[in-house]
Structure 1
Amino acid sequence: MKRVLITGAAGRIGTVLRTQLRDEFRLRLTDIHSIQDLQTDEEFIRLDLADADGLEAAMQGIDTVIHLGGIPDESEFARILQANIAGTYNVFEAARMARVQRIIFASSIHAVGFYPRSETIDSSVLPRPDTLYGVSKAFGENLARLYFDKHGIESVCIRICSFEERPQDLRHLSTWLSHDDAVQLFRRCILADSVGYSILYGVSDNDRSWFVTPDAERLGYRPRDNAEAFAVEITESQNLNSTDDPLAELLMGGPFVAREYGQGHRS
């Protein structure tokens, strides 16, 4: 069984992944928060991303790291800098020291959030981050490029879109990533014989998708869910989570392009 370390394992994505992957892989989990439903076959280490030595120790014997840890939304620069930029560097450097073979980095649609919805984009486009959070994800993608070119560590940077049980608003009809499809995507990234350095979009098979994902297809990802199944219900709903800012309705980042700080919006 491949040995997989998940950082940020107590978060929304980490919780779904570990419950679905623990029968297939040997999981070692880290987070600054405790995990209440930890199973006997899951190894948990309470760990802050600032603890470089602790990260290196946690990575001993690991084949693949799934790096989900960090601030999951827009925030003050000091917090983004510590958790998402310095913390991601610590993860990559610890992986290098521990001779980890592959890192799966949770990037975000917000690394490209200022592209217009009228375009269809692939992984070759330049970053156009919509927030400091998006900047931190673009940094992680470039760090992964460096560690592949200089140190030979394979990386897959997944620009995760709207990870939800079901789409919540009109924008999600284009950006929805279902839980089942997310699990399949991460599984394929773990099991693929070779990934080199890849950027791909974490999105389901939505009719209205703004993304082309040839690298995901090359890895064997075949999404099964389509947000269009919810289109009538969402279109008729009075709670569309719309914004008064017209720019947010034109760009892929949605409400993230229109605000400086704050909480309350999901990808």
Structure 2
Amino acid sequence: MKPQRILITGAAGGMGRLLRPRLARPGRVLRLLDIAPIDPGDDGAEIVRASVTDADAMEAACRDVDVLLHLGGLSTEHCWEQILEVNIHGSYVALDAARRAGVARAVLASSNHAIGYLRPEDGDIDAAAFPRPDTHYGVSKVALEALGSLYADRYGMGVVAVRIGSCFERPKDARMLRTWLSPDDGARLFEACFAAPAPGFRVVWGASDNTRHWVSLEPARALGYAPQDDSERFAAEIDAQGEPDPDGFLMSYLGGTWCGPDWNTAEKEASAR
């Protein structure tokens, strides 16, 4: 029986490294792509050293692939030119290469920063809330979702965009108690996205089943996601750091401090001139 082959872009990044051992399994081949070096490991992974902006390399990497898991791109705020080239154009290149290679399913790593300027004060935020990006990076994730919608509607590709909250081994602050996605739940969510029949185009939240929560997991559960982790086990340690200012950027906006002046890219670029 032919093994399932999953192409993971950005595989050398933090999330790629967390997911690799959790997605490896018998009957599956992980094809790992990044511009940075990738540990060959002992899981039988296929290693591809390439940029998501290289159309020829991406088309070659997509051959014989069943699922594209697109994590590749700049993971924090950068100047517009870099965001445009790597995150927006690179996502187009990846999706179009997948289309040309006949890849039937794409799972896209979007972000809470696509709607970072939403306030969590009015209850759980819907997974498909209208974009309110907080940075150039956030704009790139809105563009990624739009590209996913286009490729689903025009070309019939099954596309799920996951608005990831905060995927780390453990939450780092009070905000992340609300947005945390454990690596194990991240793998469970992506497995559900891989297996869901005929998803069309969906936007879902990437978060664990946190006691302190800001987002709705119902669309992800509808795909078969069954989260098992809760950030509350880290709450005592984080609460001991002190009560955050309820009116500060960290707790006032879904995007946290990314909505504050320290992340004003235009201001930074102007001061550098």
**TM-score range for the pair, normalised by the shorter chain length:** over 0.9
Q: 2:200 aligns with which of 188, 191, 196?
A: 196
Cα pair 2:40 2:47 within 8 Å, conserved:
no
Cα distance in structure 2, aligned partners of 1:42 and 1:153: 25
Instruction: Give 5+ residue unaligned stretches, structure 1.
Output: 263-267
Deviation for aligned residue 1:229 = 1.7
Residue of structure 1 in register with 2:217 after alignment: 213
Cα distance in structure 2, aligned partners of 1:204 and 1:13: 15
Matched, 1:257 2:259: yes
Cα pair 2:83 2:137 within 8 Å, conserved:
yes
Residue of structure 2 in register with 1:55 after alignment: 58
Which deviates the most, 117-126 or 100-109?
A: 117-126
Change (3 A) 1:212 1:40: closer
Residue of structure 1 in register with 2:146 after alignment: 142
User: Map of 1:9-158 to 2, 5 A cutoff?
Assistant: 9-24=11-26, 25-39=28-42, 41-119=44-122, 120-158=124-162
* SS of corresponding position for 1:125: coil
Residue of structure 2 in register with 1:265 after alignment: none
User: Map of 1:175-254 to 2, 5 A cutoff?
Assistant: 175-237=179-241, 246-254=248-256
2:234 aligned partner, one-letter code: F
TM-score normalized by the length of structure 1 = 0.93
Cα distance in structure 2, aligned partners of 1:15 and 1:246: 32
Deviation for aligned residue 1:99 = 0.8
Q: Deviations over 1:198-249 (max 9, x none)?
A: 10010000112111122211121111111112212211125x8x68982443
Instruction: Report the identity percentage.
Output: 42
Cα distance in structure 2, aligned partners of 1:230 and 1:132: 31
Cα distance in structure 1, aligned partners of 2:134 and 2:153: 27
Cα distance in structure 1, aligned partners of 2:234 and 2:256: 19
Cα distance in structure 2, aligned partners of 1:226 and 1:244: 22
Q: Deviations over 1:81-105 (max 9, x none)?
A: 1100000000011011101101000
Deviation for aligned residue 1:134 = 0.4
Cα distance in structure 2, aligned partners of 1:191 and 1:89: 23
Cα distance in structure 2, aligned partners of 1:185 and 1:158: 9
Cα distance in structure 2, aligned partners of 1:243 and 1:76: 29
Q: 1:6 aligns with which of 5, 8, 15?
A: 8
Cα distance in structure 1, aligned partners of 2:83 and 2:215: 27
Cα distance in structure 1, aligned partners of 2:152 and 2:218: 20
What count of residue pairs does the alignment treat as equivalent? 260
Deviation for aligned residue 1:75 = 0.8
* SS of corresponding position for 1:13: helix
Cα pair 1:243 1:255 within 8 Å, conserved:
no
Cα pair 1:106 1:159 within 8 Å, conserved:
yes
Q: Deviations over 1:165-185 (max 9, x none)?
A: 111111011001111111111
Cα pair 1:7 1:29 within 8 Å, conserved:
yes
- C-alpha RMSD of matched pairs (Å): 1.8
Cα pair 1:175 1:210 within 8 Å, conserved:
yes
Deviation for aligned residue 1:49 = 1.4
Cα distance in structure 2, aligned partners of 1:191 and 1:86: 27
Deviation for aligned residue 1:30 = 0.5
Cα distance in structure 2, aligned partners of 1:161 and 1:22: 23
Cα distance in structure 1, aligned partners of 2:67 and 2:204: 18
Residue of structure 2 in register with 1:173 after alignment: 177
